[in-house]
Amino acid sequence: MSYISEVRESFKAGDSLATVVVPANDYRDITLEIVSKLLGSKLGGIYVTTSRPATHVVAEMKERKASLNDLYFVDMISLTVGGETGDPRTVFIDSPTMLESVLLNVGLLERRIKAKRHFVMFDSVNGLSIYSDTRMLKEFMNVLANTMRLRKTYTMMLTVAEQTPPELESVLVTLSDRMIRGEAGDG
Amino acid sequence: MARSTEPMKATPVKLDPRGGRPREKSKTYIEGLDRMLNGGIPIGNTSLLAGTVGSGKTTLAMEFLINGAKHGETTCYISVTEPSSKMLENLRTYGFFDDSLVTEGKLNIFDLGIINDRLGVERLDGSYSSKDMEALLGAFEDIVDELQATRLVIDSITAVCYQLPDRGSIRNFIFRLGQFLATFGCTTLLISETIVDASTQTYSIFGVEEAVADGVILMGNVQRQGDLLRTMQIIKMRGAKHSRARHLVELTPIGLSVVPLLKWGQETGTMFS
């Protein structure tokens, strides 16, 4: 089954947290495909980016002619690398170590979403592990998963298959309602 | 002996250790803080809002007043260290501030110059005599009484305490101020400047304010990999079953927001005393 089919099935089943394990080579394509298709299904969304500035993601989404009307961003990287920080649909986090700010700002952005149902895309666990140690990441993922469960918000955690240490993967398996692994080469 | 086959009746256990009837609360309307306070600050409490430089004390105190004013209460801010005009200019930089609250008399800002006029003295920058202390107490009481204020902030009680001759006078001053405000049902935050000395953060400079106050809300900073995170912890709050966990405080477009701090992300290990 393709990634987007599995995600749709997971969403329909009422999952709260799904981990999407993506191979490094197809990472960008699969990620953007999932977001574009979900937005095309009249869902609103929040894209948390730890690995690329939100402006980059927006540009790529526009290339795909995705509807961006109801998509908001939490950008954990632009302020660190001196990127553009003027986009009104994006909340810029001071530093990628400030994990609590993500929880807080996702909650605030959820109030701006117009669609009845929405998703949160977390791109990616590997990006966070550059700045925070495993012990703290485990705690963060535990808090995030349970916060989203309480809010009944559908959340996807993206991980790069080749870069996820077994210790983190086992946490994701424990916390997630579903592990989505797709099939190599599909989108 | 034959055993009874009747199931044992369990004694019901109350899950709330405090039980009893909860006090009426003054909601802060600050995202996350009312949850920490189990609904808000008990009405009439006088609490210390203690913290180091840049920890967000004034912003939090102002938002407490502004949110109250937006809900129809009359509120009052007494600035001991800054002119009210400068305070207003700073307030206008916050999205949650609205000038009409001042023009409609819902948010009243006084500075030491205005207090001095009320006291009929030229300056009050030396040590206060007991007569001066009485006059100052009287001035604070008059302001609250005349305005029928239900929320008050004194910024800062530390600056007032510096003028008082000894710890006994400070204790007496805060105790009497608290008593008066409680009878008026005025919920008060006294801003207390603190310092971190040898990794120990105190609740006040003189060490007596916290004993007399009904509550202590401590604000501070935690370092995480070189980044400074603003934090908040409720140390005590009489009449409320409150959280004692350390929380992160962030200024957002809707005002301050508070979320629990991750346990493994607290590097400095600052001790409180």
Ramachandran region of residue A152, left (φ > 0), alpha (ψ -120 to 50) or beta?
left
Tokens of A92: 């810029």
Q: Verify whether the Cβ–Cβ distance A108 to B261 is below 8 Å.
A: no
Tokens 């900073």, residue located: B221
Q: Mean pLDDT score of chain B, rounded to an integer?
A: 86
Across the interface, do A139 and B263 touch by the CB < 8 Å criterion?
yes
Mean pLDDT throughout B258-270? Answer: 75
pLDDT number for residue B1: 55
pLDDT of residue B273: 38
Token couple for B87:
């305070």
pLDDT grade for B3, boundaries at 50, 70 and 90: low
pLDDT score at B125: 55
Domain-located, residue A187: no
Could you tell me the residue range of the domain that residue A125 belongs to?
A: 3-180
- What is the least distance, in Å, from the CA of A180 to any CA of chain B? 28
Determine which helix (DSSP H) or strand (DSSP E) holds B48, and give its type and residue range: strand B46-51
Q: What is the pLDDT of residue B271?
A: 44
- Distance CA(A44)–CA(A121), nearest Å, equals 11
Query: Which residues, numbered 186 to 245 in chain B, qualify as contacts with chain A under a Cβ-Cβ cut-off of 8 Å?
Result: 224-225, 227, 229
- For the beta carbon of residue A22, count every other beta carbon within 10 angstroms: 23
Kindly state whether residue A117 falls inside one of the protein's structural domains.
yes
The answer to whether residue A39 sits within a structural domain is yes
Greatest Cα pair distance, chain A, in angstroms, is 41
A186 occurs within a structural domain: no
- Which of A74, A98, A110 is the best mutation test for B, with the most CBs of B within 10 A? A98
Whole-number pLDDT of residue B9 = 75
pLDDT for B253: 79
The reply to whether residue B250 touches residue A101, judged by beta carbons under 8 angstroms, is yes
- B14 in contact with A at a CB cutoff of 8 Å? no
In angstroms, what CA-CA distances link B112 with B78, B109, B223? Answer: 8, 10, 35
Residue contact A100–B225, C-beta within 8 A: no
Tell me the residues of chain A between 53 and 112 that have a Cβ less than 8 Å away from chain B: 94-95, 97-101, 103-105, 108
A11 lies within 8 A of chain B by CB: no
Q: What is the ipTM of this complex?
A: 0.86
Three-state secondary structure call for residue B100: helix
- Token pair 């526009």 is found at A62
Domain annotation covers residue A175 = yes
Report the pLDDT value the prediction gives residue B189, as an integer from 0 to 100: 97
CB-closest option in A108, A131, A136 to B264: A136
Instruction: Answer whether A104 sits within 8 Å of B252, measured CB to CB.
Output: yes
Q: Which residue ranges in chain A fall short of pLDDT 70? A: 184-187
Residues in B touching A103 (Cβ below 8 Å): 259
CATH code, A7: 3.40.50.300
Indicate the pLDDT class of residue B19, thresholds 50, 70 and 90. Answer: low
Q: Is the Cβ pair A108, B257 closer than 8 Å?
A: yes
Q: Is residue A59 part of a domain?
A: yes
- Asked if residues A120 and A148 have their Cβ atoms less than 8 Å apart, the reply is yes
Higher-scoring residue by pLDDT: B212, B104? B104
**CB-side neighbour CA atoms (13 Å) of A183:** 4
Residue with structure tokens 């039980």?
A: B19
Q: For residue B207, which phi and psi values (nearest 5 degrees)?
A: 80, 5
Contact B262 A94 (CB under 8 A): no
User: Do residue A103 and residue B261 have CB atoms under 8 angstroms apart?
Assistant: no
| Rounded Cα distance, B218 and B202, in Å | 9
Phi, psi dihedrals of residue A111, rounded to the nearest 5°? -70, -20
Give a yes or no: residue A185 inside a domain: no
Across the beta sheet with A44-49, what order do the strands follow? A90-92, A71-75, A44-49, A118-123, A154-160, A17-22, A178-180
Inter-chain CB proximity A108 and B259 less than 8 Å? no
Q: Note the pLDDT tens digit of each residue in B133-186.
A: 888 888 889 999 999 999 999 999 998 888 888 888 888 888 899 888 888 899
Contact B265 A99 (CB under 8 A): yes
Q: Which residues of B touch A96 (CB under 8 A)?
A: none
Total count of domains within chain A: 1
* DSSP state, residue B12: P
Domains of chain B and CATH, by start: 25-272 (3.40.50.300)
What pLDDT score does B39 carry?
95
pLDDT, mean of residues B255-259: 93
A102 to chain B nearest CA, in Å? 10
Name the residue in chain A with its Cα closest to that of B222: A98
In this prediction, residue B269 carries a pLDDT of 45
Provide the pLDDT confidence category of residue B120 given band limits of 50, 70 and 90. low
